[in-house]
Amino acid sequence: MTKRISGFVSSHFGAPFDGEISQPSVLVHGHVFCLIMRYHEQSGDTRYDGLAHRIAKSLAAVYAQEPSGILPSYPGIWWPTDNRPALAALKKYDMAFQTGLANDPCQRWVNSMRTYYRDPKSGLICGYVSLLKKEPLVGPRGVGIMFAFPFLVEVDDVFAREQYALAQKHLVG
């Protein structure tokens, strides 16, 4: 990645794409990984496969250590929406490279959303959560929910349909 692309990230997360990615950020690495995998899927171009392998390996390793399936967007800050592009990219990676890296993280993420992080009134996924307390801190946000449907359907299509029906009921007026 060019300094122009990664320069603003370095002060928060370190050099994001240099060498081994030991501390991946679901926000930075997950979104870039999503772009790489969609580009790979559409073009067949393999020039970014090395980076895709490094990101997939590092994200899978940190997801394996997190029982909730939710990685922080920033240190100590969990926005579930930021995990959906990363998890969807892991699904695409599994299909492209015949791995099973996404299965457990996706299942744990959906289970956590269903169990702890939905709004009690609407049933929609909440925007900001506390993993420590296992509770939502902010209710559902329309922008986060609507932005995430294309990714959520790739993570778990049944849960995506359920959430979409709830969004239509509670957010579309």
Helix (H) or strand (E) holding 138: strand 135-138
C-alpha 113: how far from its chain's center?
13
The per-residue pLDDT for range 28-68, each reduced to its tens digit, is 889 999 999 999 999 999 999 999 999 999 999 999 999 99
| DSSP secondary structure letters along 7-20 | HHHHHHHSSTTSS-
Q: What is the pLDDT of residue 14?
A: 55
Averaged pLDDT score across all residues of the chain: 89
Looking at the 3D structure of the chain, how many domains does it have? 1
User: Which has more confidence, 104 or 142?
Assistant: 104
Q: State the residue range of the domain holding 124.
A: 3-171
Q: What is the mean pLDDT of residues 91-102?
A: 97
pLDDT of residue 41: 95
pTM equals 0.88
Instruction: Enumerate the H helices of 14-137 as residue ranges.
Output: 28-43, 49-65, 83-97, 103-116
6 pLDDT tier (thresholds 50, 70, 90): low
* Token pair of 36 as six digits: 């790489």
* pLDDT for position 76: 86
Q: Can you give the CATH number for the domain in which 45 is found?
A: 1.50.10.10
The widest CA-to-CA distance across the chain, in whole angstroms, is: 49
